[in-house]
Structure 1
């Protein structure tokens, strides 16, 4: 019968079951096979956050931006904090892996004790009073919970899924920072372009003001025209000051993303004179599966599913093995002798009786937590679909808007040139010139602003798709 307990334990392990539902990725609102108005088929969401997104920002074709992007992950404090959370989660996962293994401890002890001579005397204890006893022990103690109902295994599933959720969260932080940097960068370049246009306008208006001032001195011009010219000049200076303030804010924001102090951080003047990359409107919905937030929501759901099983297992008996093997002696010199050998082993069983109502409530809570996270997962997928749809729509209509403002800018420039010529020839008033120049300036700035909005929409699309727009299979 010496090995009866160990034999029973082995049989229990071999015949053990795992309580709770086996997790399956839930069905969600179906994703269209293509992001267009007439879907050609349907495909269920299947998170693929583990796939490499690559350096998606390189599609924007800006080498200076690429250099800044390489610093985000290592320099931004929020990115480093997210990385620290990931390391914490990995430490928890590593610790959970040993939960199925026996715990073995070496608990050596040496001590001495003396009994009192003044305690209650009895015939049986009369010879034990006032004695000093020495004790030396060197045992190995083993404890092992037999995972009969799968509680420990379900907890391990939950911990692993939680770690994967933290990984997705980390990737989401990095993706958001990269998208914020890209948007700020092209907004900065667009601001530089507007400043450039306004500086040219400022020169023209200063020349016009000086010309009118000379005419007034010569008696050939009116004070009204000069006042109007001064007003337009002041308006241009105010717009430049506003843009320079905006530029300073953007530079400061970029410094923050890069984990640098705003004081002393500078970026050289760099106008926006390029076009955003063309994006295929008919994108495969598979690219959406790389979104970190979808992966995070799905992994949270998997963890909640596993915890249903672990809470259900708490309703059943908890069985464990405890054993001890070592040496014990009253004298240190005799501790290593064979006669000092000592051992014990046995099975422990703990059956919940009075707490079953509480444990059942824990199971119900775990089930409802799963239902909550299931709806959050579905909402995340629907939000992702909306963001992609909005970005694609923006790219489409901003492209048409760009064509219109380009034509407007060309026509406005021609009208302004004609008005200036007519004014110099004395065929029209200064008011017509001012109006034409104002329209030309507005059209030029609109060109720049729409181009920047197109870059923003493209970046937002890449972010909405989890990075770039290649199919995960490629």
Structure 2
């Protein structure tokens, strides 16, 4: 009868626990998440887009403006060598690898949070052999009888099961917080890729600008050397003066200094690209190729779509969602934890009888844990979570505002550089004419050589300025593409379910 009653009590306790779980499993304390309202624009086009410069020559955006960049954004520049380097960067850049592993770690945290949904089962087999004292209780005879104590053995195979049901949604909020954080890390990964890709493109166009500058300086050095030879010859023949020789030497040496400095900067940009594509700078080189680039038309899309195209905006919004889930965790701390425990074991002093039915033991029962007073700690933590949520909302809105600023800045920069280039090209043309005229006047003995030096200095300055403007136009075009989010959009962000999918163990293996 006693055994039958124990079985009935056990069944009743289990049924009561399951009923309690069913009753409150739908509870989820904490605020429901609503995405914050982002600052946006209803304008049909960006303020600094080409619609404001219809009557001007120079760079213009792609038409129609509703189109957006897709896929490998760097291919818009039609530069095969840059495409190859970008492919190498995507495969070998270590900063991208760091961001990727951070995302993988965030996904692992989701699995850690979800593990709390399940019971904890432990198995602790043990064996002990002990002897009791002969000088305890009624057997205390001063130790004269060595046989009054007892020696015993105990074999035990215990299994313990404990489970804390998620009555108040605390675990669910922890899982949500981990999922949203993983989404934020996925957006950070996309942002890191875009940043590294843009840095590579900018360094590449910087190198090409240095190649063009070196070409200009090489021609200047040749012209200066020829001028020095001519003035030296005239001086040696007694038809020229030594002042012209000194001025020619000074002009030549100044050009050589600029030539060396341009070579230094080119080498540094080349080393930077080697690092970006994951190669040792000592073993990496880019062939010299002096080329002039013109920024291509860039599709802008609609201003109202900008927030959906920027990975940093997506990361900021997912951070807000995670902060909202953290508030739910804070509310859950005010409710008790109910733990359902069960244990069973096989115990016997003789191993031969360990698996007999009579050797079994068991216990089952719930427990409730609730902090009655902790100096208002939970309330303070909840206020902290709410303040952090408000700060994350402000950060999200600031990120959106910054996105619009960067697009408008890059638009006006690209447009204005193209305008300056047109004017500077005219300046170079007239400076070349001025130099040619002064050279003729000097050769005819009309003007002193200093006038030739001044004209040549002006020409070189205009040529350097033109090259710099052409490079800056390309850099601002890259910055514009980056400000528009590259070829990324919010549809590429993994869903919470996708972030929680099982990841192969090989992904987490240590790199060698």
Q: TM-score, normalised by structure 2?
A: 0.83
Pairs aligned (count) = 459
Change beyond 3 A, Cα 1:32–1:230: farther
Q: In 2, distance between residues paired with 1:223 and 1:52?
A: 62
Change beyond 3 A, Cα 1:403–1:265: same
Q: In 2, distance between residues paired with 1:331 and 1:261?
A: 68
1:22 aligned to which of 27, 32, 38: 32
Q: In 1, distance between residues paired with 2:421 and 2:188?
A: 36
1:6 — aligned with what? 14
1:112 aligned to which of 126, 129, 153: 129
| Deviation (angstroms), 1:121 | 4.3
1:377 equivalent to 2:396? Answer yes
Q: In 1, distance between residues paired with 2:138 and 2:190?
A: 74
Counterpart contact for 1:289–1:465, Cα < 8 Å: no
2:107 aligned to which of 90, 100, 107: 90
Q: TM-score, normalised by structure 1?
A: 0.90
1:43 — aligned with what? none
Q: In 1, distance between residues paired with 2:450 and 2:384?
A: 74
Change beyond 3 A, Cα 1:472–1:204: farther
Q: In 1, distance between residues paired with 2:148 and 2:336?
A: 44
1:144 — aligned with what? 163
Please, which runs of 5 or more residues in structure 1 have no aligned partner? 41-50
1:418 — aligned with what? 437
Aligned 1:186-197 pairs, distance under 5 A: 186-197=205-216
Aligned 1:417-436 pairs, distance under 5 A: 417-436=436-455
1:204 equivalent to 2:223? Answer yes
Aligned 1:34-433 pairs, distance under 5 A: 34-37=44-47, 54-121=71-138, 130-280=149-299, 283-355=302-374, 357-433=376-452
Counterpart contact for 1:286–1:471, Cα < 8 Å: no
Q: In 2, distance between residues paired with 1:118 and 1:252?
A: 84
Please, which runs of 5 or more residues in structure 2 have no aligned partner? 1-8, 52-67, 141-146, 493-512
Q: In 1, distance between residues paired with 2:148 and 2:306?
A: 82
User: Mean alpha-carbon deviation: is it higher for 238-247 or for 327-336?
Assistant: 327-336
| Deviation (angstroms), 1:189 | 0.8
| Deviation (angstroms), 1:32 | 4.3
Deviations 1:278-333 (A, max 9, x none): 12467444144232221222222111111111111111111111112342322211
| Deviation (angstroms), 1:129 | 7.5
Query: Does the residue aligned with 2:115 lie in a helix, a strand or coil?
Result: coil
Deviations 1:427-470 (A, max 9, x none): 43323322222222222222211111011111111212221489
Counterpart contact for 1:297–1:373, Cα < 8 Å: yes
Counterpart contact for 2:293–2:474, Cα < 8 Å: no
Counterpart contact for 1:283–1:469, Cα < 8 Å: no
Counterpart contact for 1:168–1:296, Cα < 8 Å: yes
2:480 — aligned with what? 461
| Deviation (angstroms), 1:387 | 1.1
2:497 — aligned with what? none
Change beyond 3 A, Cα 1:96–1:282: closer
Q: In 2, distance between residues paired with 1:162 and 1:244?
A: 46
